[in-house]
Amino acid sequence: MALKIVWTPQAEIGLTKVLDYLEKEWTKKEIIDINGVKVYEQLPYALMWSSDLSLEYQFLKNFTVKGKAIYRLGRDDENMNLPLVQPLTFAAGLRFRKSAFYVDASVERALKQSDFSPEFGENQTPAYSIFNLAVSQIFYINQQRMILKIGGENLFDENYSTYSDWNNIPRPGRNLYANLIYKF
């Protein structure tokens, strides 16, 4: 059994002053009937903080559980929220491995976006959870390694969008796939 914990602050002492941060501003005008044309302007500076925590634990020889939490915060020179900043997000997964056969089950969850930027056209993104499942088999043909992977993403067909989906355009629904991966 092994427990692996990794904490990664993404900036020195957790806070970085980003000089000349390039920021987006949405115009109020329509250009050729297109809404939301982006105009870029320089900010004097921006403050950004980012951190993530990862855990991995192997047990009963064939099982591994993983978890990850990510938090980011961004403010401009007037202490207003920066756009496109990820809310508190979690991921957890369980893997079963026996020889060259794998089964992976995972969940991804994001909390409601509370630090959004209405000044830049953002609106609040609701919380969501999605569930994924995949099975994989590694095999060899003439000493060439291949992986067959079959799985499903967003198994419960959650209607959701993330912080980075402008105007809350939904992400794809349930997705089933089969991959043949050839490594050379």
For 151, other C-beta atoms within 10 Å of its C-beta total: 19
* Least confidently predicted of 30-39, 114-123, 140-149: 30-39
Other CB atoms within a 10 A radius of the CB of residue 74 amount to: 21
CATH of the domain at 106: 2.40.170.20
* Per-residue model confidence (pLDDT) at position 32: 43
Residue 59 has pLDDT above 50, yes or no: yes
3-state secondary structure of 77: coil
Can you give the pTM of this predicted structure? 0.76
Residue 179 predicted with pLDDT over 80:
yes
Please name the residue ranges forming H helices in 75-169. Answer: none
pLDDT at 9 > cutoff 70: no
The answer to whether the CB of 162 falls within 8 A of the CB of 125 is yes
What is the number of domains present in the chain? 1
Range of the domain at 109: 2-182
CA distance 89 to 72: 9
pLDDT at 48: 87
